[in-house]
């Protein structure tokens, strides 16, 4: 079973369920929202979390499902200079004087085009060390945090040793010329591949044409490039090799 084209670009949410593992004690907090994930990955993810806990590595989910409009806001805010845009090394860039192509490449390094984010699928999550967050650490999501000396070093090593056993992988484990390395981003191998294989680019393109994305004509013209260098240009789930 796969999801509809509307679900695959973050317009419909029937494929999602709340992931409550380890968060039941927070039920009385009405402000607390459970992370939303694809229902089909729920048991694999619960098993992954249970094993991590058993191994004394507690995982926090810092980002799960994100809808089309949220991704559009992120993208447009960056394009307009309302949100910071970072280099591959994590330094803030001045995009004021950039050409459209430079802007596009700089933003696409860290943020997906609305409709082409794997976070729309509910199969992909950004994770962080729960201990660090509970100690008040301000999450940045940088490579340093997941390096051997970083605050997520233990989690990072555990993910490398265990993800595949539970059916997950890191699609941005190495830089392949498109998206920057994101060691915090994990994905369900089977369900994400099913969505990628059946992705309806025509319907996506039609929807983007009707959206209010900045510099629309330029972006639409760049779609084949984006598809090849960012959307499909990820590490493989089978052996986590690039
Ligand atoms: Zn992510």
Q: Rounded CA gap, 90 and 216, in Å?
A: 27
Q: Rounded CA gap, 191 and 214, in Å?
A: 31
The lowest-confidence range among 18-27, 62-71, 203-212 is 18-27
| CA 161 – ligand 1 centroid, Å | 20
Q: Rounded CA gap, 118 and 196, in Å?
A: 9
| CA 163 – ligand 1 centroid, Å | 16
Q: Residue 31 pLDDT more than 60?
A: no
pTM, to two decimals:
0.94
| CA 19 – ligand 1 centroid, Å | 17
| CA 41 – ligand 1 centroid, Å | 16
CB neighbours of residue 123 within 10 Å:
29
pLDDT for 162 equals: 98
Backbone angles phi, psi at 124, to 5 degrees: -120, 140
At 2, is the pLDDT very low, low, confident or very high (cuts 50, 70, 90)?
Answer: confident
| CA 211 – ligand 1 centroid, Å | 23
pLDDT for 117 equals: 98
Pairing type for strands 168-169 and 16-18 reads unpaired
Q: Residue 241 pLDDT more than 60?
A: no
At 74, is the pLDDT very low, low, confident or very high (cuts 50, 70, 90)?
Answer: very high
Region 12-40 average pLDDT:
81
For domain 5-231, the question of CATH label 3.40.605.10 is answered with no
Nearest one of 131, 198, 127 to 168, comparing CA atoms: 127
Domain boundaries of the chain, sorted by first residue? 5-231
| CA 68 – ligand 1 centroid, Å | 14
Q: Residue 93 pLDDT more than 70?
A: yes
Q: Which residues surround ligand 1, an ion (CB under 5 A)?
A: 126, 185
| CA 214 – ligand 1 centroid, Å | 22
């Amino acid at each position: 079973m796969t999801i509809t084209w509307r679900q695959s670009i973050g317009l419909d949410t029937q494929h999602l369920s709340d992931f409550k593992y380890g968060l039941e004690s927070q039920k009385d907090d009405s402000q607390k929202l459970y992370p939303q994930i694809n229902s089909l990955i729920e048991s694999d993810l619960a098993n992954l979390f249970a094993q991590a806990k058993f191994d004394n590595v507690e995982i926090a989910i810092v980002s799960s499902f994100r809808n089309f409009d949220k991704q559009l806001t992120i993208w447009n805010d960056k394009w307009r200079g309302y949100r910071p845009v970072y280099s591959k090394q994590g330094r803030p860039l001045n995009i004021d004087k950039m050409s459209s192509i430079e802007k596009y490449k700089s933003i696409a390094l860290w943020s997906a085009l609305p409709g082409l984010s794997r976070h729309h699928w509910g199969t992909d999550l950004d994770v962080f060390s729960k201990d660090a967050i509970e100690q008040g650490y301000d999450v940045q999501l940088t490579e340093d945090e997941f390096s051997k000396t970083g605050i997520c070093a233990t989690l990072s090593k555990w993910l490398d040793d265990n993800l595949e056993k539970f059916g997950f992988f890191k699609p941005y484990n190495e830089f392949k010329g498109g998206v920057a390395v994101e060691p915090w981003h994990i994905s369900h191998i089977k369900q994400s591949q099913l969505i990628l294989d059946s992705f309806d680019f025509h319907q996506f393109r039609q929807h983007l044409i009707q959206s209010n994305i900045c510099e629309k004509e330029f972006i639409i013209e760049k779609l084949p490039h984006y598809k090849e260098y960012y959307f499909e240009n990820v590490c493989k789930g089978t052996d986590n090799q690039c």
